[in-house]
Amino acid sequence: MNKIKQKLYDWKDRLRDRHMLTLVISMVTIIVILGLYTYKKQRDYRQASENQYNLAFYELLNYVQNVEVYLSKSLVTKTPEHATETLTYVWREANLAQSYLSRLPLNSSELENTSKFLNQVSDYSYSLSRKNIYGEELSSKDLEDLKNLHDYSNDLYNTLNQLALEINQGRISWGELTKKGKYAFSQQTSNISKESFNNIEGNFHEYAGLIYDGAFSEHMTNPERKGLIGEEINEGKAMEIAKNFVGSDKIKEIKLNSVTENANIPSYDFSIINNNEENIWISISKKGGHVIFMNHNRNVNVEVMQQENINDIGKRFLEEKGYENMESTYQIKQEGIVTINYAYSQSFEKEKVTIYPDLIKLKIALDNGEILGIETTGYLNSHEKREFNKIKISKNDARKKINENLEILSEGLAVIPTEYYTEKLCWEFKGKVEDREFLVYINVDNGKEEDTLIILKTPNGTLTI
């Protein structure tokens, strides 16, 4: 005992030595620094993992939604050619969804069934697309199975969406899901009957297999720029056009921001400060001096304008600026501003033809009806007076090519663009199946079903996907 006490006293004496004390302090400091460094690295690693899981999850959510959308379209398509295309999209999106699902840190029975479901959606849609390739129409049994698949996919999307909400609100993290996997995930999927997932294999094991642009907007860039007519103008002329368009009496200051050369439509770009000290941006094409784009950002705090009045205000504005025969199509409302898509129309064989490629978008304030923005790219790329060949497929014959489950609400002629920068004249049928509305396009030359769009009516406007 005395020896132990003596050693403690000796150690205490050594600590009084400056060098020994410095060494101990240094060691403690190093340990603390290493601890903090290790903690930071672990925290950074956890954050990086969370970010990767979030990316994978939201990609999964996106592809599951696409599966639901294309399955919905498959319920109203009738021609083998278009059915093949739609079902091929289902097959592709389901495969991509499964790829991102596999990256999530979960290993629960629900997840296994979700993976199984996506597999079977992919295989079954592939099997039916092969059937269509050989010119066979889908049977009533095929359509019933597709409807069941669609219902399941809708349930799955709603469940994943709920899980996204929980994660966004910080109620649950991927770390927790990793630790508690089965329990945590089953809690989040409580709104879906587990029976639905478990029955899928039994039901389908036999098969192998800035601004919303509106309908067809992804094909609005035409390299020919048919509507871009006129001679080259200089900066001075472009500034004069910009002033006249906005209204010279409203402008306090205007200056050239840049000259854009490497764009689809080369332009002079101006910034304007109006009398209310608000910013306006406007681009004028070098060729012909056309207004390509104008945007006026201001707050709209009250909404007093009626939608019918807004549509008329927009149409009158376009007529005053030289854009005639423009008809409103789709629209969306955000923060007191409604964005309306106007498409050019012309008459043919006593029918009005909606020319979707010739698109102009207007932003209109709902407090006073002021035009806050315009975009004319689609119109400048595509506009011209069309010459149509004689219609070979009558409206009645085209109607017979539509899925019999589609309740037709309206019909007419429309020109739709293709991804190959061509256009097709089609009969446009608007209809609904149960509570969902669709647009179906039948080619007037050969009766081919060219496209199907889903119409989404939201509190903020009407959209298509």
Q: What integer pLDDT is reported at residue 284 of this predicted model?
A: 93
CA atoms within 13 A on the CB side of 155: 19
Pairing of strands 351-365, 407-417: parallel
DSSP 277: S
**Sign of the dihedral through C-alpha 52, 54, 60, 63:** negative
d(CA 204, CA 194): 16
Q: For 299-406, where are the E strands, in sequence order?
A: 326-334, 337-348, 351-365, 371-375
Tokens 């899980």 locate to 163
Q: What integer pLDDT is reported at residue 397 of this predicted model?
A: 94
Tokens 């592809």 locate to 63
Tokens of 393: 């497929």
The answer to whether residues 254 and 242 touch, using CB atoms and an 8 Å cutoff, is yes
d(CA 350, CA 48): 62
Q: What integer pLDDT is reported at residue 429 of this predicted model?
A: 94
Q: What integer pLDDT is reported at residue 309 of this predicted model?
A: 84
Q: CA angle at residue 368 from 317 to 463, to 5 degrees?
A: 70
d(CA 101, CA 57): 7
Q: CA angle at residue 292 from 289 to 293, to 5 degrees?
A: 130
Helix or strand (DSSP H, E) at 451: strand 449-458
d(CA 281, CA 319): 22
Tokens 């081919």 locate to 448
Q: What integer pLDDT is reported at residue 219 of this predicted model?
A: 46
The answer to whether residues 371 and 314 touch, using CB atoms and an 8 Å cutoff, is yes
**Three-state DSSP state, 86:** helix
Q: What integer pLDDT is reported at residue 37 of this predicted model?
A: 57
The answer to whether residues 118 and 102 touch, using CB atoms and an 8 Å cutoff, is no
Q: What integer pLDDT is reported at residue 221 of this predicted model?
A: 53
The answer to whether residues 160 and 61 touch, using CB atoms and an 8 Å cutoff, is yes
**Sign of the dihedral through C-alpha 210, 215, 219, 224:** negative
CB atoms within 10 A of CB 79: 21
The answer to whether residues 362 and 317 touch, using CB atoms and an 8 Å cutoff, is yes
d(CA 113, CA 125): 18
The answer to whether residues 404 and 40 touch, using CB atoms and an 8 Å cutoff, is no
Q: What integer pLDDT is reported at residue 139 of this predicted model?
A: 73
Give how far Cα 301 sits from Cα of 29, 337, 366, Å. 58, 10, 9
d(CA 152, CA 208): 19
> Which backbone phi and psi does 171 adopt, to 5 degrees?
-75, -20
- Please list the pLDDT of the chain residue by residue as tens digits (465 residues): 566 666 655 655 555 555 555 665 666 666 666 666 565 656 655 555 667 777 778 888 888 888 888 888 888 876 777 777 788 888 888 878 877 777 776 654 546 667 777 777 877 777 777 666 656 677 777 777 788 888 888 877 887 777 777 777 766 666 655 555 444 444 444 433 333 333 333 333 332 222 234 455 444 555 678 889 999 999 999 999 999 999 999 999 999 988 887 677 888 999 899 998 888 999 999 999 999 989 888 888 888 887 778 889 999 999 999 999 999 888 888 778 888 899 999 999 888 999 999 999 999 999 999 999 999 988 998 899 889 999 999 999 999 988 888 899 999 999 998 766 788 999 999 998 888 888 999 999 999 888 888 887 766 666 676
Q: What integer pLDDT is reported at residue 146 of this predicted model?
A: 81
What's the one-letter identity of residue 143?
L
Measured in whole angstroms, the distance separating CA 194 from the mean position of its chain's CA atoms is 30
Distance from the first to the final alpha carbon of the chain: 86
